Amino acid sequence: MTMTADAAVPTRTAQRRPVRLPAQGILLANVALVAVGTLVLNVDLFSRASLSTLTPVIGVMVLIALGQAFIIGTGGIDLSIPATITLVGIIVLKSASGDNAALLKAIALALVVCLGIGLVNGLLVEVTRLDALVVTLATGQLIAGATRMYRGPVLAVSNVPSDLSDFSRKSVGQVSVILLVALAVAALVAIWLRYHTSGRRLAASSVARVAAENSGLAATRQRLVAWMTGSFIVGIGAVVLAGQIATPDLTLGAPYLLTPIVAVVLGGAAISGGRVRPGATALGALFLMLLEHILRVRGYSSGVALAFQGLVLGVGLTLVATSKKFRWSPISAKRGGTPSAPSTQDPAMNQQNQE
């Protein structure tokens, strides 16, 4: 009886899940950045002025990064996101023409266009198996050209409807409503991916396409849903961004080419594809926006901020790749050394128990 109980111990140990380092690491990095900014660099991150400036841009970045995370989860990268953001802003601006009564129609049109862009990109990448980098670079140029033709030389109005700008500039306490919307979207996405059947199928198809197809899942269809979902979330971010700026122009999406990718990587995502982690992606976006704000307050130029983002991307990729080789679990500790004693003694124990 004693031998049987002892032999069962390695089985229970083998079922322990390893500690995930990337999400915990980016959380600690945020805490450290806030501590350094507040205590060492003397930047008041919690003042009324800082919160009114920070929370809207953090909210927009969380939404855009979350949309990019769905694309990176399939093993691709969407370089058409800046052009999509600009197109959404121009659609809201021109279709509504400053009329609050036409606002919902304009937003619905913009989001439907985002779904169409995601579908086209997904079909080109997932069905024809073209390279995502090349496809989205090409579609981004097409979207940019279509945006300029749709906008025309002169617009009758230059402001979005007042209802949208008023909503995007609201705050609860000192926190922008845009950040609250972003957190709500991230929470809904996390619940969907974790607890709903369709979300789990999408996650499984993104992580391993061949395995999903062998399991009977329509992997291509699920990955198309990932592309469309990512573009739809980007559209939500673009709508609130247009409302926050109030006068969107052809440069609206320019800042959102590299930074969302960096945020997703900092959240522990692999460029080759994998699970979407909304919480970790939001923390990555938070880190980048805090870093940019601290550098701006300290008087550094935008070039320095871009250089820091490139440095953070390189360090983040290195840390994510390194953390995958080291899992803090009893299993990885045993596999790294000599074979454990229980594994060599199991056959003898089983023979004695049978006798």
pLDDT tens digits along 283-316: 999 998 998 888 888 887 777 777 877 777 677 6
What was the pLDDT predicted at 325?
57
Q: Which element (helix H / strand E) includes 324?
A: helix 302-325
- Structure token pair of residue 144: 């940019």
Selection from 71, 62, 85 nearest residue 229 by Cα: 71
Q: Which amino acid is at 133?
A: L
The DSSP 8-state label assigned to residue 39 in this structure reads I
- Structure token pair of residue 78: 């969407």
What was the pLDDT predicted at 332?
45
What is the torsion angle, in degrees rounded to the nearest 10, for the CA atoms of residue 242, residue 247, residue 251 and residue 252? -10
- Pick out the chain residues at pLDDT < 70: 1-23, 156, 212-214, 216, 313, 316-317, 319-355
What was the pLDDT predicted at 123?
95
- Structure token pair of residue 151: 């906008």
- Structure token pair of residue 220: 């291509």
